[in-house]
């Protein structure tokens, strides 16, 4: 491969990885074309892409970016899985692909300067909440005490109202009955 072609590929990879904070790396060896296309289609539906890379060009493409350091996962044939989705979503998609095809070798995930190696590392990341799930958990935690307070205030008043309604219904049913004097 000529230097010019290598520099073009390096620039393309730099553009693809621009703004990415985390990636997953898998070994595409042993996956036939049909399975590969099905896997890419599932990834694409979730906003995630997979690119087979030449290791040395990928290392140069991520120099001086937040992805610097993920090159430790590049060993032999490598495919990088990346996207605008959260890293937990990417990990879940990779784990689903592994369940669908046992031949798939997962090298690991890199984000926030940390490497999570192998299946165990990816599984650990897949159990982390996505951004949306984390926001929902925070909102639920904030609303929980308010909901309990509203229930505590409303509860006794509702019971008292029910008792008064029952007394009113009983007095309306028996208007002819006079109280003994």
Look up residue 18 and give its two tokens: 């621009």
Mean pLDDT, the chain, rounded, equals 82
Same domain, 19 and 98: yes
Q: Are residues 86 and 103 both part of a single domain? A: yes
Q: How large is the average pLDDT for residues 83-100?
A: 86
**Does pLDDT of 180 surpass 60?**
no
Judge whether 177 lies within some domain.
no
Q: How confident is the model at residue 129 (pLDDT cuts 50, 70, 90)?
A: confident
pLDDT at 181 over 50: no
Is 179 within the bounds of a domain?
Answer: no
| Per-residue model confidence (pLDDT) at position 51 | 87
Within this chain, do residues 74 and 159 fall inside the same structural domain, yes or no? Answer: no
pLDDT category, 178, cuts 50, 70, 90? low
Give the count of domains, the chain: 2
pTM exceeds cut of 0.85: no
| DSSP letter for each residue of 90-133 | HHHHHHHHHHH-TTPEEEEEEETTEEEEHHHHHHHHHTSPPHHH
Q: Are residues 111 and 159 in the same domain?
A: no
Same domain flag for 116 and 156? no
Which range of residues forms the domain containing residue 168? Answer: 129-172
Q: Are residues 80 and 8 in the same domain?
A: yes
Residues 14, 93, single domain; the answer is yes
Same domain, 95 and 109: yes
Same domain, residue pair 72 and 123:
yes
166 and 120 together in one domain: no
CATH code of 33's domain: 3.30.70.1730
**Same domain as 163, residue 115:** no
Alpha-carbon 27 to chain mean position: 22
Convert the pLDDT of each residue in 20-43 to its tens digit: 888 889 988 888 888 888 888 998
Annotate 30-94 with DSSP letters as a single string: T--HHHHHHHHHHHHHTTEEEEEE-HHHHHHHTTTSTTTTGGGG--SSEEEEEESS-HHHHHHHH
In the predicted model, what is the mean pLDDT of residues 134-148? Answer: 78
Contact 79, 34 (CB under 8 A): no
Task: Say if residue 145 is in the same domain as residue 156.
Answer: yes
Is 159 a domain residue? yes
Residue at 180 is within a domain: no
How many CB atoms are closer than 10 A to CB 66? 16
């Amino acid at each position: 491969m000529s230097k010019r072609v290598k520099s073009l590929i390096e620039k393309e990879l730099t553009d693809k990885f621009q703004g990415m904070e985390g990636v997953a790396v898998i070994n595409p060896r042993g996956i036939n074309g049909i399975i590969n296309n099905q896997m890419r289609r599932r990834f694409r539906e979730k906003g995630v892409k997979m690119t087979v890379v030449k290791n040395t060009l990928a290392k140069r493409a991520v120099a001086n970016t937040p992805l610097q350091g993920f090159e430790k996962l590049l060993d032999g044939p490598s495919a990088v899985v990346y996207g605008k989705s959260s890293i937990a979503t990417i990990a879940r998609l990779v784990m689903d692909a592994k369940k669908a095809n046992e031949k798939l070798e997962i090298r690991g995930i890199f984000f926030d300067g940390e490497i999570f190696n192998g299946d165990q590392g990816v599984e650990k990341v897949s159990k982390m909440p996505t951004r949306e799930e984390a926001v929902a958990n925070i909102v639920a935690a904030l609303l929980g005490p308010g909901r309990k307070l509203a229930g505590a205030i409303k509860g006794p008043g509702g019971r008292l109202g029910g008792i008064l309604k029952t007394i009113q219904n009983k007095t309306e049913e028996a208007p002819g009955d006079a109280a003994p004097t």
